[in-house]
Every structure is written in C-alpha cells, then in structure tokens.
Amino acid sequence: MATKGTAEQPMLEMSNRIFTPKVEAPNMNPATVNPEMDENGFIERINATNGMFVYGEENIVLYGEERMDATGRKKTVCIPPQRLHVGDIVDIAFSMVAFGRGSELKARLLLRNITLLDATHTQKWLKEKVKAQSLNIRMQPTLKRRLEFEDDEENTGKRMKGMDIENNENEMEDDEEDARL
C-alpha cells in the first residue's frame, strides 16, 4: 500500500501479489483462474508448472459493480477488471493477515474485493476525449490536387528558354577551356 497524489488530492494505491511463494504457504492449493483476469493463460501456466509459486485463494481479487435492481435494492454484479479506471470511485475490501513464527510475526494487507461505486467522472472524461479526437480527425487539412497543365504556356516557354540559355553558356565555357588546353 502506498500513498500518491498531492496534498490537495491524496490517493491511496493498493495492490496484491499475484502469486504466493510455496515456502510461505506449503499447503495452499491452486485456485481456478478467472479467464478475464488471465487473458493470455500466464497465471494458469505458472500454477501448473512452477513449484516455487502458487496462485491460491489468498491471491484472488473479486471485481464488482454496485447496481440497483428492478425493486430498487442495491446489488453487486461481477465485472471484468478492465472496467475499472483511474478516477473511478470504488469500495475496497481487504483482510489483515499475520504470518510468521513465534515473536517474528508480520502483518500484511490482502486485497480481496474492489467494487465500482461510481464511474461517472471517468465516463465523462472518456466521452470528452473521444469527442476531442473525433474533432481533430474532421479538421484535418485537405490536400489540393494540382495538375501539370495548370501553368499557362507563356511561363512554361520562359522557363524552357532559361534552361537553354544556361546550357548554351555552359557549352561555351567548356569549349573555351578545351581551347586553352
């Protein structure tokens, strides 16, 4: 657990270990991994093949959203963790667990549950961001196509004469150099 933010807007950041070392919990059985939490199957592979770490009951974090049902009562429904964003108002449940031997006990907070209470701030920000991006796309400058034949023939003729004059002068300079040698 760590504190972040500024003096005016303090924030608390919490996390949970994905794996527990087998040394700390030799009798812990592997838990079933939520596919939304482990899209690439990494946690499941480590659980099946690695003897040093285990993803068990103490590592599971539940994600939910508080909603009103048809009768007006609050209920919590499961949501994928990707629905949570910085700025959301959430309710966090954690357990305090003591472990160790004898007088060498340590306390640790274990994150258990994150319930989304209010996402209106984040939703408003996302809508404004998408709107700003769509305005930027629409206001891109358009390219104007130019055709080769738009120049009038007089300008083209003058340019060609200028090129001929330069070439004739260069040829004359080359002839003079050859004559000197």
In a domain, 162, yes or no: yes
10 shares its domain with 55:
yes
21 shares its domain with 95:
yes
If one counts the domains in the chain, the total is 2
- Give the pTM: 0.56
38 shares its domain with 87:
yes
Please state the rounded mean pLDDT for residues 105-115. 83
In a domain, 161, yes or no: yes
Q: Please state the three-class secondary structure of 110-124 as a single string.
A: EEEEEEEEECHHHHH
User: For 39-94, how does the pLDDT look when each residue is reduced to its tens digit (9 = 90+)?
Assistant: 888 888 888 888 888 888 888 888 999 988 889 999 999 998 888 888 889 999 98
23 shares its domain with 89:
yes
Domain extent at residue 96:
2-125
